[in-house]
Amino acid sequence: MREKKCIICKNGQDTEVLYKENFDFKKLNDKTFSARRIPDGTHYRFLKCKKCGLIFSSPILEEKEISELYSKSTFNYVSESKYLQKTYVEYFKRHVFKDKFAQKKILEIGCGNGFFLEELEKIGAKNLFGVEPGRASVDKAKQSIKKNIKVAMFKKGLFAKESFDVVCCFHTFDHIVNPDIFLDAIFQLLRKNGKVFFVVHNTKGLSVKLLGRRSPIFDIEHIYLFNPSNLKRLFEMHGFQKVEVFGVKNIYQINYWLKLLPIPLFLKNFMYFLFKITGIGEIPISISAGNIGVVGTKLK
């Protein structure tokens, strides 16, 4: 196990224990590290920095062990991805490039089966690339997207310096063991006036306010969790300018929102049954549940 510290204030001392650890080593496997599984309350010990409010896991598994678990993970959220791709593209056009992005070279880190890149392709983007550690996820990608996806954990040197106009990362940054190294590597990848576009969980969001420890964001996959203030500060610390942080509304079917609720299984199953026979569960609704986006620009 490896101890972590606040990556903003650079200390591991001026913290408080937010939640004690709640997991069993013997039960950790690749399914534990597969995206959008049913929340099970499994997590490391969570600490909170008293200065900046950053919440982080410590101690955590060694990076090599985490990488191996992600490499075996699977893509299991096809039904949700059709909503995610439209949501992310909408915010992309609103905050990154409204148009004229056909020739922009775009990279997505943690791209899964390439569903976001596929949606960008539909609206005219041509130079699309991805990085994804899970081979099973990449195997499900559309061929035109798959050929440009590297099956690997993202790291410095994977691509040439100053080779991208945009780097996107959706609900992957929360999982990164060394965010400082990660952001520096991305900064080097960007061309002048290049942009980053991330979406992460918000520790001041609705799910945390309503559910506290039972919020799905307190999960063993999540190492660093941010609020709008410390997220903006971190990106500025790594050279990004014109940093903008904004709320992200997600659209999902009611059945998916139900899956995230920490209620007894018998009650959840009854509600699934009720929603199925009435058709309510298939209705998509938009909720600001607790996600934030960040866009930053490399000006030099």
Is residue 66 very low, low, confident or very high in pLDDT (cuts 50, 70, 90)? confident
Is residue 272 very low, low, confident or very high in pLDDT (cuts 50, 70, 90)? confident
pLDDT for res 263:
82
Q: How far apart are the first and last CA of the chain?
A: 38
pLDDT for res 39:
63
Judge contact between 21 and 74, C-beta under 8 A: no
**Nearest alpha carbon to residue 41 among 289, 268, 264, 199:** 264
CA–CA separation, 261 vs 41, rounded Å?
Answer: 11
Domains (range + CATH), the chain: 15-298 (3.40.50.150)
CA–CA separation, 203 vs 54, rounded Å?
Answer: 9
pLDDT for res 249:
92
Write the pLDDT tens digit of every residue in 121-130: 999 999 999 9
CA–CA separation, 216 vs 208, rounded Å?
Answer: 8
Write the pLDDT tens digit of every residue in 163-214: 999 999 999 999 999 999 999 999 999 999 999 999 999 999 999 999 999 9
Write the pLDDT tens digit of every residue in 92-135: 999 998 888 888 999 999 999 999 999 999 999 999 999 999 89
- Residue owning tokens 């309510």: 280
* Cβ contacts of 130 within 8 Å, gap of 6 or more: 107, 108, 109, 111, 114, 117, 141, 145, 148, 149, 150
